[in-house]
Amino acid sequence: MSESYVEGVLPFSTDPDSREDYINTYGGVRIAKLLEDLDALSGAISYRHADDSNHHTLPLAIVTATVDRIDLLNVLDIDRDMRLSGHVSYVGRSSMEITIRQGETHADARDGMIPIMLSRFTMVARDPTHGNAVRVNTLALSSHLEHDIFDKGRRAKEAAKEARRANLSRTAPTADESRFIHTTWARNFEIEDMVPTVRADAITPRQTQLSRAVITHPGQRNLNGHAFGGYLLAQAYDLSFITANLHLGRRPRFLSSSQLTFQNPVPIGSVLDFRSRIVAQDGSKFTITVTADKVDPETRARTTASVFHYTFSRVCRVEGSTEEAVETCGRDLVAETYGDAIRHVAARRREADSVAREEQLRIFHELRLPTV
């Protein structure tokens, strides 16, 4: 496991050019740029693990299959160096789970690093000629810590398989979920003559929708000649951020991502249509789903390339207050259709799989592997 370990540093404190590349309009760090780095690092770790050390064989084609989870653990500071480190944490037949820690260097912090992000990617290996799945190297475990990390990865993969089997596109909601759908509908709609009317102080997912179209260029390609997964992550995140900004009426705060899927490769030159909408809002959080479709310019036929889910905080500081007072921003979100309700339930399922921040911090520090 430790043989796959890779780390790098973004020298914000000493390199003005790096700061300029990563600074956002609010004076903080551009999370979209960090998502690109996470995907690139996942690829580098995967290729390091899958290398057969034979210069006479073609290297495997490795692609991002899913981003299982990304959690933001602390506020980012553009004036501190950012350290990214990761390794293979679980291996299936042709898949590799990559776990990445991202932190800011600080002399007084535990391990000399303030936890910033904890991420898990799933990468898959393909035959470079025919594209079929190929077996990757097994994972040698040399300590109790590595065995524990591997077991967590195995349980996560089993849970993911079970979630796919119970996908709401294939199975009906549970009894509790059906009651939630009905209760939400009855509470948020005024029904006269069986015609639903949305409350004046509420908004529907359709009303939050935004879109943007891009064309992919050679500078955005990966080693396999398709659009780089990190580029798609960043484009989707920026659109979700704008959607959140318009909903709240002020700067949103990113919290997490989960179960982001790359379903079809995107050849260079493709027209991509990104569409975002708020799909769920519960208490202090709301989730935005962004779908990236490939569009054929001649036929206008659409094929879903990727689906992304980003969760933001709904808690905002009270403007003009001298205290650290907060309030809940944005209008209430209500499902207008059955599809809206199902997307809300799916978002609740994804969030139910999240781990408390205290547990994330414990895992973050536990994952400090010795390098070889």
**What pLDDT does residue 372 have?**
46
**What pLDDT does residue 210 have?**
98
3-class state of residue 261 by DSSP = strand
Are 40 and 231 in contact by the 8 Å Cβ rule? The answer is no
Backbone angles phi, psi at 221, to 5 degrees: -90, 155
Domain-by-domain residue ranges, the chain? 2-162, 175-353
Are 284 and 315 in contact by the 8 Å Cβ rule? The answer is yes
Are 129 and 114 in contact by the 8 Å Cβ rule? The answer is no
In sequence order, the 6+-apart residues with CB closer than 8 A to the CB of 256 are: 69, 70, 71, 72, 310, 311, 354
CB crowding 99-111: b at 16 or more within 10 Å, else e? bbbbbbbeeeeee
Architecture of domain 175-353: Roll (3.10)
3-class state of residue 295 by DSSP = strand
Single out the residue of 172, 312, 262, 230 nearest to residue 38, CA to CA: 230
**What pLDDT does residue 322 have?**
57
**What pLDDT does residue 272 have?**
96
Are 289 and 277 in contact by the 8 Å Cβ rule? The answer is yes
Backbone angles phi, psi at 295, to 5 degrees: -120, 125
> Per residue of the chain (372 residues), what is the pLDDT tens digit?
888 999 999 999 999 999 999 999 999 999 999 999 999 999 999 999 988 777 766 778 899 999 999 999 999 999 999 999 999 999 999 999 999 999 998 877 777 789 999 999 999 999 888 778 899 999 989 888 889 889 988 998 888 888 888 888 888 888 998 988 888 777 666 655 555 567 778 899 999 999 999 999 999 888 888 999 999 999 999 999 999 999 999 899 999 999 999 999 899 999 999 999 999 998 889 999 999 999 998 899 999 999 999 999 998 776 665 556 677 788 889 888 889 999 999 998 888 777 666 677 777 777 766 554
Same fold, 2-162 and 175-353: yes
2-162: CATH superfamily: Hotdog Thioesterase (3.10.129.10)
